[in-house]
Amino acid sequence: MPALASDLRKTLENTVVKARDLAERGAREALMGLAVGANEPFSSMSEQERKLRNRQRARGRQLGDQRDPQKGSQSIERLVREMAYEHWHRMLFARFLAENQLLIEPSSGVSISLDECEELAAEEGTDLWGLAAQYAQSMLPQIFRVDDPVLAAKLPLEIRQQLQGLVAELAAEVFTASDSLGWTYQFWQTKRKKEVNDSGVKIGADEISPVTQLFTEDYMVDFLLDNTLGAWHAGKVFAENPQLASNAQSEDDLRQALALPGCPWSYLRFVKSDDGHWAPAAGTFEGWPKTAAELKCLDPCMGSGHFVVAMFERMVALRLVEGEQIESAAVAAVIEVNLFGLEIDPRCTQIAAFNLALAAWRRVGHCKLPAMNLACSGLAPNTQEADWLAMAGDNERLRNGMERLNRLFQKAALLGSLINPRAAEGNLLVAAFHELQPLLEQALAQESQDDTAYEMAVTARGLAKAAEILADQFTLVATNVPYLGSGKQEGELRDYCERVHPDAKADLATCFVDRCLSFCAPSGSTVLVTPQNWLFLGTYKKLRERLLEVVKWDSVVRLGEHAFASAPVTARKDDAPAADQAAITNVVGMMLFSGGG
């Protein structure tokens, strides 16, 4: 599929910016109409409306909205943003599904067109996009909570109609381009990012996600994965067919010989030795497992899932060439066993999950997919510890596990994937997090009147999944790290980086270089898009010395200015770690390290 054309990208940006303003205005009106922020419900409200109000307030508190214990009133700002996002993206995802012939009418189980959906909507006395959004929600239970209170409340009719108009006006090509989903969330954050940057505030939990969002260009992803997964595959093929490495006339000949269906390894690079034998420029990763089934790939800052989907396509091709007989089985196995992702922003995590589901369904048609190993590393308990631990009842082992979760994720909205359970807990057993799952599922299955406890259980389930991934180790770690100089960081983030990553502390980017290496299994590798300034500035001398001693540098690629199509062109020329992060976005490099752990 082609990338989104520049004119359509601009149209999509304008549409998404308008949609956020409209959706947040509608969400605020809807929540105020339910008295969610007020100290008491309106006297005219029905019993059903009062119950929904209580559910909304519980949801808001788990998101971090604060209740005034004296007045009884409650902030609704986080809930407004959550509700706006969910309603708009449910419609947007429905259009993505429809334009890819993947919108399923649930009673028949067959895909329907937008015209057919409109006809069904007329029969049911509803509107096209409202019905399409319902179908999308039922198809995507891992993405849209079926019991989510923010989707139980409707936006005002006028707002809904305007949002539906925005969805309908977008060209069909927007929904079939390879990178559109990646752009949608960056554009959702456009206005917020400008507000934060213009304010000059230090970057904390509320600001870090919009400020550090930066869409990774296709060629960066392809280069890094082709020269790891592709190079590993080449090494296996050369071992079985040594003549190929000596008889090929050019790199193009080798790429054509190694190409797999849907996986051309276009950026895979080779070098020729003096004796005339070709070899992958980055090596063949002999320490990796011998089969694709054993590979574990992680993006710890996955954003909207660009690396995750690209790893998915390559892993499916590798499983098929190794003998997997049925494509749908290979797709399910890759999702269940090979792919992992973490993201600080829960909304971005949701888009990444949809992106992966869409990639899978484009290959094999709509089917039930296994649970994805994608989790939000930025969720926080947002409740009193005693209430949190009460979910474990009298089971001391489970209570200890819940206490560990609470301690690990207190600052999750600020730290995200920097959280390292192995470092914090020594020989922490990942199995301890698995043991929490039955308890949490049991809590969610209970018909309880306590909305607060239910929302806590939903959050705890997400934290347990994130903790499993954060404590694990991987064959390949691939990401575009977040860029943020220490001078722009809020105190708690800066203090954490200084304490945990002392020789990488000058930028969040280099702290993530450190963290990604700790995600690697002893024979694993990490490939990163990072600023290049840390390769030569004196601030990072100790970091460079340490990494030169403890890991193998397989590749370093300088990209220079204009590397990103979506960022302004500036250069960072001084040694000041507090320089604005925008000054380094176009002077970046790609690094490939082996031997983490």
Q: What is the pLDDT of residues 276-306, one digit of tens each?
A: 899 999 999 999 999 999 999 999 999 999 9
Q: What is the pLDDT of residue 215?
A: 78
Q: How far apart are CA 192 and CA 195, in angstroms?
A: 5
Question: What was the pLDDT predicted at 538?
Answer: 94
pLDDT at 436: 75
- How many CA atoms, within 13 angstroms, populate the side-chain half-sphere of residue 317? 18
Is 590 within 8 Å of 478 (Cβ atoms)? no
Q: Which residue ranges make up each domain of the chain?
A: 6-200, 214-286
* pLDDT tens-place string over residues 328-342: 999 999 999 999 999
∠ CA 168-174-177, rounded to 5°: 155
DSSP states of 79-131: HHHHHHHHHHHHHHHHHHHHHTT--EETTTTEE--HHHHHHHHHHHTS-HHHH
pLDDT of residue 420: 92
Query: Would you state the structure tokens that stand for residue 109, as one six-digit string?
Result: 């189980």
Q: Are strands 278-280 and 270-272 parallel, antiparallel or unpaired?
A: antiparallel
- pLDDT of 444 reads 66
Token pair recorded at residue 375 = 């989790």
Residue 282: predicted pLDDT: 92
Residue type, 585: T
The DSSP call for residue 497 is: H
pLDDT at residue number 582: 40
Low-confidence ranges of the chain (pLDDT < 50): 426-431, 567-586, 597
